[in-house]
Amino acid sequence: MTSLLRGIGYNFKGLKLGIKTPSLLALGLTRLVVILLLTLAAIGLILTKYQEITNLIWTRPESPWLVWLWYTTAWLLALLLAGISAVLAFLIAQVFFSVVIMDYMSRITERKSSGKEAAPPHLPWFSYFFYLLKQEIPRATLPVCISLMVMVLGWLTPLAPVLTILSPVLAGVFLAWDNTDLVPARRLVPFRERFGFLRRHLGFHLGFGLCFLVPGLNILLLSFAPVGATLYYVEHIDAEPLA
């Protein structure tokens, strides 16, 4: 319970530091705008084309008795595709844009909280970008794959009510890990050891990730999550062995 409450607390501790620090505030707002723009663009594209997409599956009937059913199907399909588009847009924004922003936010926070920064790999900028990209792909795709797997299990088994709750909780845990993993990934810690860190500190990640399940608040907290996660890592984990 202590770890869970600590996870919740570090979310707001990071938000407070992010708002008070001009560089972190600018980076956090930039990340927020990028994610929102890509997500809204993807959803807008689906909503303008949903009737054409429905026609590819089921041609609009001539009978007025069936037209209402066609429109209902079209809107249900639009909602489904909008949800999928939002997830894909988030992944694209996360992998190709936010990964650099998150790394800078983590490095600034590490310097402010500890007075020093563990140097990233000495690589040219483009090489370092692809290094960050390679670290982000499993962190961004793993939670989506696991959440989809849990969702499918809910459809195929009688455990649907339990799995419906479990799926977003798991997504929150992995989103938390996406941020706490920034420091060890920058220090070239192997992926297996970093995933072991998630297992050992599951309570913290659960508390940190629960805040991301609150609609509205989650958008703000996710924008500054690298700050709180880095603060936790520097203040509580640096003295512990990762393996």
164-208: pLDDT as tens digits: 667 778 778 888 888 898 888 888 788 888 888 888 899 999 999
Residues 6+ apart with CB under 8 A from 110: 116, 117, 118, 183, 230, 234
Residue range 30-59, pLDDT digits in tens: 888 887 887 788 777 777 876 777 777 777
**3-state secondary structure at position 229:** helix
- List CB contacts of 59: < 8 A, sequence separation 6 or more: none
Domain extents in the chain = 2-237
Residue 227: pLDDT over 50:
yes
Mean of pLDDT values over 225-229? 92
pTM of the full structure:
0.72
Q: State the chain's mean pLDDT as an integer.
A: 78
Give CA separation, 236 vs 104, 169, 188, 194, 241, in Å.
21, 24, 19, 15, 11
Would you place residue 24 in the very low, low, confident or very high pLDDT band (cuts 50, 70, 90)?
Answer: very high
pLDDT digits (tens, 9 = 90+) for 114-143: 777 666 666 676 676 677 677 667 766 776
